[in-house]
A and B are shown apart, each in its own frame.
Chain A
Amino acid sequence: MSALLVIDRLRVRFDSRDVLRALSLEVAAGELVALMAPSGAGKTTALRAVAALQPFDEGRIVVDGFALLPGPVPPEARLVSLRRRVGLVFQGHALFDHLSALDNVTLALRHVLGKSRADADAVAQRLLDSLEVGARASAWPRQLSGGEAQRVAIARALAPDPALLLMDEPTAALDPARRTALGATLRGLCEQGRGLLVATHDAEFARAHADRVLTLGT
């Protein structure tokens, strides 16, 4: 089984200080990999480099055949096929404040994939339903609880149907019951054949739900 994501000796420097040095990892389809490290150890930076939001200095990143090389982040026009392959759930969710939960999800469906309003609404509603947040489709982001907002954010990231989903500190604001529910949700995504790379400092969550746990800085 070929890897969905290959990170090969990744090095990122901020002001001549190494934030990441020689990070290598692989994520296969259907696999949940936890990237463990204390806060500030470069987990987020690694995810941002994979999502092409962050340039890196050395190494190589290959996502489902699409290679990113050291140097500045390429212009968006050259990242179109990468964007279809990778979804990112931000730590603070970064939901679009001016759009309803449903429209947060339909935005990419309509404007990137070119679906009609009706088709996009149907797909988005199904996604929200599958994440058990369908009843909140018409709510504004500020009306959602932390757990609801997270599931809307996952639905938004899944809308372009990416093979690889990146998640940054997903358990940061969740109580234990919610953490277990999230674990089940993520396992469900793996069963759909997606690869998941989850950056977390929550060792318990990582051990309970990940196929593999990689610890940074050791």
Chain B
Amino acid sequence: MVSLALGILTALAVQHPTARVLVWGGDAEGGAPFVEADPADPSQVRGFDVEVADRIARGLGRTTRFVQVQWSSIDQSVERGDFALGLSGVEDTPARRARHAATLPYFEFREVLAVRPEEAARIHGLIDLRGRRVATLGATIAYDLLVRARDSTGLIPVSYDDDVHPYGDLVTGRVDAVLLDHIIAQRALRRRGGFGFLILAQPVAVGHYVGVLARADSALRDSVDAVLREAMRDGSLEQIFRRWRVWDPTQGVLFDAVLRSSMTARPAGTAPVVQAIAYLPPLARAAAVTALVSVLSMMLAVLVGLALASGRLYGSGWLRALTTVYIEVIRGTPLLLQLFVIYYGLAGVIRLPAFLAAILGLGLNYAAYEAEIYRGALLAVPRAQLEAGRTLGLSEGQILRLVRGPQALRYALAPMTNDFVALLKDSALVSVITVVELTKQTAIYATNVGSWIVPGALCAVVYLAMSLPLARLARRLEQRWGGRAP
């Protein structure tokens, strides 16, 4: 919401550009040492990328203005003109270079593995992680490395939306290794006081950070490249990196190579050429995950919903109160929050696997809505039907099972089907607890190819293929039963 508002404001600003201001975008949530909110003045940002942006602006004779943007959306935002330059640990990939105007590389990072200390003697690389869970940030070179290693070595990639939780989950044993940029790994280790995990010395791959500009902005990109070269030559870039303690000899080697060859691009050697066809199998897999999560969650929601509705209608006073509180609390708080609480909040008590936590979160949330549907449907069964059951000598339980339940089901089926369609789409939220489902896979795909058009259309088609038949079924049921009360 905030970034949307900022985006709109900035887009307005870009329409009336003040040539003296370089508007640049980054993700302060990514944190130090890249970009973070300044503890002394949270309205300001600081970090080496902030200083690189300042240095570039100075070289261009401009001042800077920062725009907050979600890290995975930097490419899309720069292309639609939210800001002129994206800088925030942006990786150099062939796809990014093909779709946008990327600057020359200004920092060399190593993809390093972090493992628990007791396993450090056994694990020396991805090859030793067969069948184990390896975490990383979604839509990164590291994620691509893991996906390819899945096919060759049989490890299990686990995608996160942030770079803090992977290390927490490594320490608690939810994952067995984390593959991320050495800067992020070292920062995580510092935060833990140097304990909890070890960083393997041998990097899995090497990559570079670049700035990204809109494709049409190649002239500005060339000016930025010139400033970066100058900053490498005059030592100001080295000073920035030293100040943030990320300088090491490999940066000097990179600077020399850049200045000597006047190279513009040296993308990470391991990144693949992105092709749509290569994303079809993961998309199919993700669609299956979406379908499976939705079906299992709905089954749980129906069972728990029935129990809740029965408790609310037939239970004693305290049971009625309890079920009412459950329903109101669940319906009154965001599903996203509930997923976080179940997965991360409860981790100290019970460490649920992500898939199970996703089903529990969705299922228990939708159970509250199902319960209200069932309660309404049970109440809609005419009293004469229940009394007819009583005069025949049926017990209350038999009346519920043989008369009231089956009749209520007819009222409930159409709204239940609608709920299932809604759940199918809400299942996209479980990506926040590392389950890669259809929407998440699409986002990864879109980030890698640098466009939402094809991935978005593909994703929509798959969702529609799942939800349209259900919506039609709901309409048919409604026509058959909805208008005609018994």
Contact = CB atoms under 8 A, between A and B. Distances in A.
Nearest to B385: A94
Interface string A40-77: 00000000000101000000000000000000000011
A107 B394 contact: yes
Contacts of B395: 76-77
B208 to A, nearest CB: 68
Contacts of B410: 98
Contacts of B290: none
A80 B393 contact: yes
Interface stretch (B82-90, B254-262, B270-278, B399-407): B399-407
B392 A107 contact: yes
Contacts of B403: 96
B486 interface: yes
Among B392, B395, B406, B410, find the residue whose CB has the most chain A CB atoms closer than 10 A: B392
Interface string A90-125: 101011111000000001100110000000000000
A111 B394 contact: yes
Contact of A83 (B384, B392, B402, B407): B392
Contacts of A30: none
B388 interface: yes
Given A76-B396, A111-B398, A96 B388 contact: yes
Contact of B392 (A97, A98, A141, A160): A160
B377 to A, nearest CB: 13
A10 B171 CA distance: 77
Nearest to B392: A108
Given A97-B407, A98-B406, A160 B393 contact: yes
**Chain A residues touching B, majority SS:** mixed
Contacts of B388: 88, 90, 94-96, 156
Given A92-B384, A97-B486, A83 B398 contact: no
B425 interface: no
A90 B392 contact: no
Contacts of A96: 385, 388-389, 403, 407
A195 interface: no
Among B393, B398, B402, B403, find the residue whose CB has the most chain A CB atoms closer than 10 A: B393
Q: How large is the interface on B (under 10, 10 to 19, 20 to 34, 35 or more residues)?
A: 20 to 34
Nearest to A96: B403
Interface string B10-49: 0000000000000000000000000000000000000000
A157 interface: yes
B128 interface: no
A160 B385 CA distance: 17
B393 A108 contact: yes
B476 to A, nearest CB: 18
A86 interface: yes
Contacts of A157: 391-392
Contacts of A94: 382, 384-385, 387-388
A196 interface: no
B106 to A, nearest CB: 72
A53 B390 contact: yes
Contacts of A76: 390, 395-396
Interface in B341-395: 382, 384-385, 387-395
A144 to B, nearest CB: 13
Interface string B396-430: 10100011001100100000000000000000000
Contacts of B392: 83, 107-108, 112, 156-157, 159-160
The 4 tightest CB contacts between A and B, nearest first, are: A97-B486, A83-B393, A94-B384, A108-B392
Given A94-B387, A96-B407, A159-B392, 8 more contacts: A53-B390, A76-B390, A94-B382, A94-B384, A97-B486, A107-B392, A111-B402, A157-B392
Interface of A: 51, 53, 76-77, 80, 83-84, 86-88, 90, 92, 94-98, 107-108, 111-112, 141-142, 156-157, 159-160
Interface of B: 382, 384-385, 387-396, 398, 402-403, 406-407, 410, 484, 486
